[in-house]
Amino acid sequence: MFEILKKTLLAPDIYFMEVHAPRLAQSAQPGQFLIVRVDENSERIPLTIADFDREKGTIVIVTQALGVSTRKIAAMNEGDCFANFAGPLGVPSELIHMSPDELKNLKVLFVAGGVGAAPIYPQVKFMADNGAKADVVLGARTSDLFIFRDKLSAVSNRLLLATNDGSEGVKGLVTDAIAQLVETEGKKYDMVVTIGPMIMMRAVADYTRKLGLKTIASLNTLMVDGTGMCGACRVSVGGKTRFTCVDGPEFDAHQVDFDEAMRRQGMYKREEKKKLDDDHECKIGIGR
């Protein structure tokens, strides 16, 4: 069993959990994900690894309570145990294959939106651990929705915030923050890594394509069963079919068909809403 050692509310409906999983922690790499099940009757939920500590034997996951299963995870507390905590899965970030000297000479800009700040953290931390600090743009609708800002600030060269409502940092989208760095300040980058809402990553890719700037996007939100067997994570990359769970979750953002990916992402919204409604009605009945 995999015990929750620490649980923290990071922002409304967004939870941090540090879980005891020694074997997984020994093998985990930045960019990978894992599969969790609350109990034997729960569905499999793929979650990108938000941090790991090989010495402590722990893995950090961050969950936003949106659907029935993620709400079930969010309801767990310190001392509770997951029935399954399997991984690591997926292809790690290409950064891990670079030497410290290569990383020091590589100018990387990480762009995260919302909960995407959590899975981007291990990559920024990996660079810092190898003596190469990157710049980070962190976006959210409003300032109270930022997560991992202190963690990212500690391991980055610069952290630039962007809020839709202008409550903190640059007022506007993450692309406005990128424009400030590139166009106003004249910063030069070799590579952009972006994780967040699909529509945000598409906007980042559209912007960086005009600059001829290599961009990597994580399509982790497409994953369902985590093995590629269900086919729900199919995505077209460079005109070829790829499976996010197996071939990703990171891909060349300029080759991703984001329109297709966004349509696929919305396939189960009706079923999820029905499940939420049924679950709510069931609880009301029990309450009676």
Average pLDDT over residues 53-79: 94
- pLDDT, position 72: 93
pLDDT digits (tens, 9 = 90+) for 266-275: 665 555 555 4
pLDDT digits (tens, 9 = 90+) for 80-101: 999 999 989 999 999 999 999 9
Q: Give the Cα separation of 243 and 241 in Å (integer).
A: 7
Asked whether 4 and 19 are in contact (CB, 8 A), the reply is yes
Domain boundary (89, 118, 151) is at: 89
Residue with the bigger pLDDT between 226 and 248: it is: 248
pLDDT digits (tens, 9 = 90+) for 114-143: 999 999 999 999 999 999 999 999 999 999
Looking at residue 36, which CATH number applies to its domain? Answer: 2.40.30.10
Q: Is residue 195 part of a domain?
A: yes
204 and 110 in one domain?
Answer: yes
The structural domain count of the chain equals 2
- pLDDT, position 229: 67
- pLDDT, position 144: 93
Q: Which of 50, 92, 66 has the alpha carbon at shortest distance from 12?
A: 66
Looking at residue 139, which CATH number applies to its domain? Answer: 3.40.50.80
24 and 154 in one domain?
Answer: no
260 and 172 in one domain?
Answer: yes
Q: Is residue 84 part of a domain?
A: yes
Q: Is residue 271 part of a domain?
A: no
* Torsion angle in degrees (nearest 10) through CA of 139, 143, 145, 147: 70
235 and 161 in one domain?
Answer: yes
Residue 159 has pLDDT above 60, yes or no: yes
Q: Is residue 221 part of a domain?
A: yes
Average pLDDT over residues 179-192: 96
Domain boundary (89, 121, 152) is at: 89
Q: Which of 178, 117, 185 has the alpha carbon at shortest distance from 149?
A: 117
Q: Is residue 160 part of a domain?
A: yes
3-state class of 280 per DSSP? helix
In terms of residue numbers, what domain contains 198?
94-265
Q: Is residue 275 part of a domain?
A: no
13: which residues sit within 8 A by CB, 6+ positions away?
A: 64, 65, 66, 74
101 and 191 in one domain?
Answer: yes
